[in-house]
Structure 1
Amino acid sequence: MTIPIHDPLQPPGTLKRLPLRKAAALFIVAVCLCLSGLLYLQLEQTRRQDLATAQIASSNLTRAMAQQAEDTFLAADLVLTSLVDWVENDGYGAAQRPRLQKTFARRVQQLQQLDGMFLFDRDGQWVITSYPDLPRGNSVADREYFKFHLQNASTVAHIGRAIRSRENGEWIIPISKRINDRDGHFQGVLMAGIKMAYFDRFFKSFSLDDNGIMFLGLKDGTLLARRPFDDSLIGSSLAQGRIYSKLLPEAPAGTATIRSVVDGVVRLYGYRQLGMYPLVVAAASSRDTILKGWYERAFQASVIVALVILGVGLFGWVFIHQVRQGERIEKNLRKAQRALEEIATHDSLTGLANRRLFERSLEIEFARGARQSSPVGLIMLDIDFFKRYNDAYGHVAGDHCLIQVAQVLKNCCQRKADLAVRYGGEEFAVLLPDTDINGTLSIAGQIRRSVMDKCITHSGSPTGYLTVSLGCYSFIPSGNDSLEEFIQHADAALYQAKNAGRNRAAVLSLESSVAELMRSDR
């Protein structure tokens, strides 16, 4: 049984101290994570704000494009409508042609988007143009717009695919109307060609990044005009693209982020379908350009936060290092304290408890025995003729002899509460809590026989071997008992064993106050 000395490093009644090093590491990690989380939230918020601003700008841009395109075609549509009414009422015979030609030319001059105006008869032959000279060549019966009016009786203006003018070879977008006779029969087509260059100039008037795109297309996906202009793409179909296949069927206008299948660039598209004409306009800016400023701010903020985290990490490393040093010092202090406790409470030669620990243990066991009405036993033992042993074999051999007897006591103390003590010189004691006189005497017998079994040669003993004498005593404490009297009773039993011839265990009976000597079984 070991009774620890008071620990000054941890006052009694206090809670167990938290592992400071782990707590510091967790705190530093938490601070770094919080800084990183705040940075992420702030950057994500500003990124969304930049994209939202770009979406608004893209929506406004497509609205302006749609309005311009609608105005452009509406102006041409109004001119065509007035001229169709004139031709249908007055015809386009030889008498009317000079006047019609001048009117065509004047209208083209008034509308800068028009490349020319052309009237074709029912066979697609050239009748009147806005140019002074009537071109000679193939008819336009193979053109898409002519076939449309030939097959459809609708008088609504038709916008056809972009074509190259047979007059000057320039790209134009045809807007045309059907001409009927008084009976509603097909008589020809009046067509106005809108310059592709007009839309190109209009597109270029907007500020767009190098990877930006703007286009005008028919509702069926046919590309009419595009920025940047690419001759090979004019007339191609965009019907399988996401705008036409998924977005327009859900809403006539909106914005979407799309990765281009052509160049792999991610762009923010704004698109809008015109209300009056089967046309679609769209404008797109690359996401990298939109977020260019955000990337710069994100880099700067990330560098600052990284430096702060680095500083916190370095400070934490130094702090944890200091904590580790403190823990190492504290560990050494505790180790030294345990060593001092061992020195203060145990005999340095035998390793048994000393009288200081013995007396403290007695106080504890007396108090517990009084509370629980349980007996406390004590064995006092002495090595027989030990002075003769030292004189015969020397003090070194004497010390070795003491160590062997101490080992016997340790082996016989089976319970954790049992305490073997070197009481002084060659005298030992064994404290046996919760043990009556019979149990005490039984253990004393085990000790006596175990010492004899060692067969330690002792020429000064009558038996020729080392033996011990033991005094046993046990009682139930009442709470007001004297430690000295308790030891004296066991010591008196020891002297009775010696006086009876040694190598025996004696029991002192408190009731009869008479010493009863008992020889244990040999």
Structure 2
Amino acid sequence: MRAGVDTQIANRSRLPFWAGVFVTIACLAILILSGWREWSAREAVLENAEIDMANLARSLTQHAEDSVELADATLLGLANRLESTGIESEALAGLQSFLNDRRTTLGRIRGLFVYDEIGEWVATTESVNLAGLNNSDRAYFQHHRDIDDRQTFLGPPLQSRSGGQWIITISRRFNHRDGRFAGVVAATIDVAYFAEFYRRFDIGPRGTVTLLNKDGILLARSVGDGSFVGRDLSTTRLIREQIPRASSGTYYFRSPLDGLQRLSFYKVSDRFPFVLLATQAEHDVLARWRQGVITRVAFVVGLALFIALVGIHLVRQLVARQRLAAAIAAKEADFRLLAEESSDLVTRIDFDERILYASPASARVLGWAPAQLVGTSALAGVNHEDRPRVEQTIEALKRGEMDEARMLYRIRHREKSEIWVETTMRATRNSDTGLINGFVALSRDMTQHKDLEAKLAVLAASDGLTGLGNRRCFDERLEQEWARARREGTPISLLMIDIDHFKMFNDQFGHQAGDSCLRTIASVLANQALRSADLAARYGGEEFALLLPNTDSDGCEQVGTRVLEALHEIQIEDGSVAAWRTTASIGGATIWPNAATATNHASLVEAADRALYAAKNGGRDRLMMAGKVIRWPGAKTA
């Protein structure tokens, strides 16, 4: 007996020691977690900077590609003109006049130049005397002279002979009619244009944007006085190791130009031989983090010391509090174990729909702490459209018609507008009387699930190639708009568009060019769907449809005419595809539905199809309307 008592006394005497060990471990854990958190915050800051640099690099790469492509499109037209007319005196006079007219519309392009087969200047947009000027020593001229390559050449940076400034050259070769080298057409863009454009972006006090060609020659840089232009960086790790491995990616390095450790993202152009490098000084990126880390660490250390002192005081009362805690825990152990550990929101609700208990998950699910929910109505915040259905379900549970119900509804969140919640509710009964006295509800956030359903619905209604509505979307919308037109007594119009000779285009240039053609035409149709009710859809293959609710025959014909005009203004051009003038045959139809034609919406498609075939048989590249407006018996007049 005495031995048992001694054992209990000995165990109690060790309690302060073990409590001290626990407090020590807790304080160390706080310090370790704080250190881990600060390191994670540092990594998060760097990761956000990486994302910013990636977005900036991709955007500026697109800008550079657009700049080069703009110049290349102009050069292609000049080259084709020179190969057609030659460079005789009369042709050159007309060409110089043409270039003079283009001076005010060049935009970001500095100048256009034409050199003959020996490098002599024969025409330019610059106001210079052409006599005695020769560019046969330029690398781009020698490239085109020595290599029979009709592709665009992006040359290294050089200083302009007409203005003296650093420029980037984009050039093309043109030939005599017998295929011999006839000369070079070139466009120039000032290096200063890119540098000034890049300075508009706020990427920190020492951030930079650098444009290089694939050989590592620096073309433009957002900082500096231009002295770095033409610098050879081919021996850097970026050019030697990173770019051969991946065409884009994050890159940490010490800059050979200013010696700073930099965080960067590089992007190699998919269309032209250049690399865009967006960087920030790592010191600048972490500046704000460093400012806060000292304060936060000092606070955590002070907090750990405070916890240690309080812990020492509290563990002295541990034995007495253990008995009280055990008594409390015994009463609701089963329920609270489930509620407190569950990631879903658990609530106890009385018969009058007041919340008696809410689990800690309420803060995560609804944004409200449990104490803020207790005593409030369980239906507070339920969307007014969903509330009648929820109330009916609860009343059925109260009447005992069911023991358990599952509901999906919207409810107001403290920080968000609304969320979707799925609640499983079960009635509870008084143990003495057996009467229903309340409910236990288990709720979970289903917002992401509903958002995913919405996104899948959008994907199901869209054509994967063109981004327009697909056939299923078109059929559903036609049925809806037909029903609306029938109710409101308004007309509904439809344009059926078929691309002329598309199979010939596809066979000649390939499916990729065909897909590009379809996407271009789809963008034209999308631009003509001006109202929210209008729908541009891919009906199938190279056939498209443009649904125009509340549009009469004249309006339908006007839209069809605009489509034809827009198609006349585009040409399908690609590096390996000659210019192709895109035309289409269009059939239009307008119907005034009424009660007698409630389910006959297919008649509109049939009428437009007949008009489409009439347009094809009439020579294509035209719009044919299906006669006059079809007025069904009893239809209202406009």
User: Take 2:259 and 2:189, find their aligned partners in 1: how far apart are those partners?
Assistant: 32
CA shift in 2, pair 1:313/1:135, >3 Å: farther
Q: Distance in 2 between matches of 1:85 and 1:246?
A: 40
The answer (yes or no) to whether the contact 1:269–1:283 under 8 Å persists in 2 is yes
Task: For 1:132 and 1:173, locate their aligned partners in 2 and report how far apart those are by CA, in whole Å.
Answer: 19
Say whether residues 1:12 and 2:12 are aligned partners: no
Q: Deviations over 1:456-509 (max 9, x none)?
A: xxxxxxxxxxxxxxxxxxxxxxxxxxxxxxxxxxxxxxxxxxxxxxxxxxxxxx
1:140 aligns to 2:135 (yes or no):
yes
- TM-score w.r.t. structure 1 length? 0.56
Q: What pairs up with 1:340-489 in 2 under 5 angstroms?
A: none
SS of 1:214's equivalent in the other structure is strand
| Residues 331-342 of structure 1: pairs in structure 2 closer than 5 A | none
Q: Is 1:128–1:134's contact at 8 Å kept on the other side of the alignment? A: no
For residues 374-432 of structure 1, give each alpha carbon's deviation from its aligned partner in whole angstroms, at most 9, with x where no partner exists.
Answer: xxxxxxxxxxxxxxxxxxxxxxxxxxxxxxxxxxxxxxxxxxxxxxxxxxxxxxxxxxx
Q: What's the TM-score, normalizing by structure 2? A: 0.46
Q: Does the residue aligned with 1:154 lie in a helix, a strand or coil? A: coil
Give the gaps of 5 or more residues in structure 1.
Answer: 1-5, 321-522
From 102, 114, 122, the equivalent of 1:107 is 102
Indicate the residue corresponding to 1:177 in structure 2: 172
Q: Determine the C-alpha separation between the residues in 1 that align with 2:277 and 2:132.
A: 37
Number of aligned residues = 314
CA distance, structure 1, for counterparts of residue 268 and residue 103 of structure 2: 27
* 2:6 partner amino acid: P
Give the conservation status (yes or no) of the 8 Å contact 1:80–1:192.
Answer: yes
Pick one of 191, 196, 202 that aligns with 2:197. Answer: 202
Shift of 1:202: 1.5
Paired residue for 2:84?
89
3-state secondary structure, aligned to 2:89: coil
Aligned residue number for residue 239 of structure 1: 234
Matched with 2:28 is 33
Within-5 A mapping of 1:122-133: 122-133=117-128
**Residue 286 (structure 2) aligned to one of 288, 291, 299:** 291
1:57-78 CA-partner distances (Å, limit 9, x unpaired): 1111111111100110101001
**Structure 1 equivalent of residue 67 of structure 2:** 72
Q: Are 1:135 and 1:167, in contact at CA under 8 Å, matched by a contact in 2?
A: no
**Contact preservation (8 Å) 2:128, 2:162:** no
Corresponding position of 1:309: 304
Q: Matches of 1:36 and 1:254 in 2, distance apart?
A: 35
- Is the Cα–Cα contact under 8 Å of residues 163 and 173 in structure 1 kept in the other structure? yes
Contact 1:119/1:129 (CA < 8 Å) preserved in 2?
A: yes
In 1: Cα distance, 2:62 partner to 2:103 partner: 21
Correspondence for 2:482: none
Maintained 8 Å contact 1:102/1:130: no
Letter in 1 for 2:228: L
Deviations 1:270-294 (A, max 9, x none): 1111111111111011223223332
Q: Which has the higher contact order (CA 8 A, sep 6+)?
A: 1
CA contact (8 A) 1:200 1:229 kept: no
Partner deviation per Cα, 1:228-256 (whole Å, 9 max, x = no partner): 13433211122222222222112111222
- Distance, in Å, in 1 between the alignment partners of 2:301 and 2:130 is 74
Letter of the aligned partner of 1:213 in structure 2?
Answer: T
- Quote the Cα distance in structure 2 between the aligned partners of 1:91 and 1:223: 36
Answer whether contact 2:19 2:312 (CA < 8 A) is retained: no
The answer (yes or no) to whether the contact 1:120–1:127 under 8 Å persists in 2 is yes
Question: Identity over aligned residues, as a percent?
Answer: 31
**8 Å contact 2:196–2:222 — kept in the other structure?**
no
Match of 1:250, as an amino acid? R
Q: Determine the structure 2 residue equivalent to 1:253.
A: 248
After superposition, the Cα gap between the structure-2 partners of 1:152 and 1:194, relative to the gap in structure 1 and judged at 3 Å, is same
SS state of the match for residue 244, structure 1? helix
Contact 1:127-1:134 at 8 Å conserved across structures: no
Q: Residue 619 of structure 2 aligns with which residue?
A: none
Whether contact under 8 Å (1:196, 1:225) holds in the other structure is: yes
Distance 1:25 1:259, change over 3 A: farther
Give the 3-state SS of the residue equivalent to 1:12 in structure 2: helix
**Secondary structure of the equivalent of 1:305?**
helix
**Secondary structure, aligned partner of 2:170:** strand
Amino acid at match of 1:12: D
Matched, 1:168 2:163: yes
In 1, are the aligned partners of 2:110 and 2:188 still within 8 Å (CA)? Answer: yes
Structure-2 change in CA distance of 1:200 and 1:231 (3 Å)? closer
SS at match of 1:217: strand
- Partner residue, 1:225: 220
For residues 123 and 285 of structure 2, what CA distance do their matches in structure 1 show? 50
- Contact 1:79–1:107 (CA<8 Å) still a contact in 2? no
CA distance in 2, matches of 1:48, 1:232: 35
Distance, in Å, in 2 between the alignment partners of 1:304 and 1:106 is: 70
Partner of residue 57, structure 1: 52
